[in-house]
Amino acid sequence: MAILVTGGAGYIGSHTCVELLNAGKEVVVLDNFCNSKPEAIAKIEQVAGRRVVLYESDLLDRKAVTSVFRENKIEAVIHFAGLKAVGESVEIPLKYYHNNLTGTIILLEAMAHFNCKKLVFSSSATVYGLSDNVPFRETHPLSATNPYGRTKLMLEEIMRDTYVSDNEWSFALLRYFNPIGAHKSGLLGEEPNGVPNNLLPFVAQVAAGKLPYLSVYGGDYDTKDGTGVRDYLHVVDLAIGHLNAFDYVLDNKGAEAFNLGTGRGYSVLEIVKAIERASGVTVPYKISARRAGDIPVCYADPAKAKKVLGWEATRDIDEMCEDSWRFTKQNSGI
């Protein structure tokens, strides 16, 4: 039996494939490489010392998705594939709705057809919307502030409805907080196209001298130092959480949400300092205006994941920033 990993060549997917292979699982990846490269697959195999079965296919291609299930015995699916850029989702919402919603519906239909009804889904802390009622628990009211977030919200609801209609299904809805860091080998990490939107790749590129300075979005929030606070977690901790969630969907039925975060918040300036410690380089920054749609503080209550999945993050902020820095350094030619 194998595990199908959609989006397995991407940032979180590639780290998860490594952990699955290390745990002895058979892995089938479906990815169209719209936000990743085929080389990621070779790197996964190099790091883990084992092979994956690759389908270079689009989730929107129903025939291709069906072939994956026909040609492999798929026990469960870990579903990462989706578009994730918040700003882009505001500019081209229909592309986001089509890719994320239609792609997932095609996947669920194929799964139902082949009687494979266990799915681990990449949701996001973005489903907690603009609230500042931290720490966020899974029972917190849900809302979305942009089309990307709405796709996550709608997909969670589609999965809950699918379970209600057929109690054989099992869904783990994993709400990730802010994944950062990279694999220790320096081979796998986050490689955004163009100028990064997210804090970590941006700060690391400033430290590497690829970008002149960091704009800190807001210095007057009601936080410890006035800058935004987030729950950063190591991508390897996050990847391992998917193994726990995989075991959970094998043994349980339902549609359950789980926060995957550390439960600790760090400010933008604390991240700048951690990258400075890791790199030995001073990171120039300027406090600028707040970014539209940002909340001051966001961190998880991860108690449910610990209690039910037996998962908790173990890597600290220095390890996250050291690993991010190693990856940036090795991959930026400095």
State the residues that interact with ligand NAD by CB under 6 A.
Answer: 7, 9-13, 30-36, 58-60, 80-84, 99, 103, 122, 124, 176, 179
- Binding mask 214-233 toward ligand WQD (x if CB under 6 A, else -) reads xxxx----------x-x---
Q: Which of the residues are catalytic?
A: 148
- Tell me the CA distances in angstroms from 55 to 30, 69, 103, 111, 332, one per residue in order: 5, 11, 15, 16, 29
Q: Is 150 in the site for ligand WQD (CB under 6 A)?
A: no
Closest approach of ligand NAD to the CB of residue 221, in Å: 20
Binding ligand WQD (rule: CB under 6 A), the pick from 17, 86, 233, 313 is: 86
CB of 246 to ligand NAD, least distance (A): 16
Residue 47 near ligand WQD by CB under 6 A: no
Among ligand WQD, ligand NAD, none, what does residue 86 contact (CB within 5–8 Å per kind)? ligand WQD
The interface partner of residue 104, options being ligand WQD, ligand NAD, none and the CB cut-off 5 to 8 Å by kind, is none
According to the binding rule CB under 6 A, does residue 145 interact with ligand WQD?
no
What mask, x for binding ligand WQD by CB under 6 A, covers residues 239 to 268?
Answer: -----------------------------x
Residue 174's binding partner among ligand WQD, ligand NAD, none (Cβ under 5 to 8 angstroms by kind) is none
Tokens at 197, concatenated: 């939107």
Which residues are near ligand WQD by CB under 6 A?
84, 86, 124, 126, 178, 197-199, 202, 214-217, 228, 230, 268, 291, 294
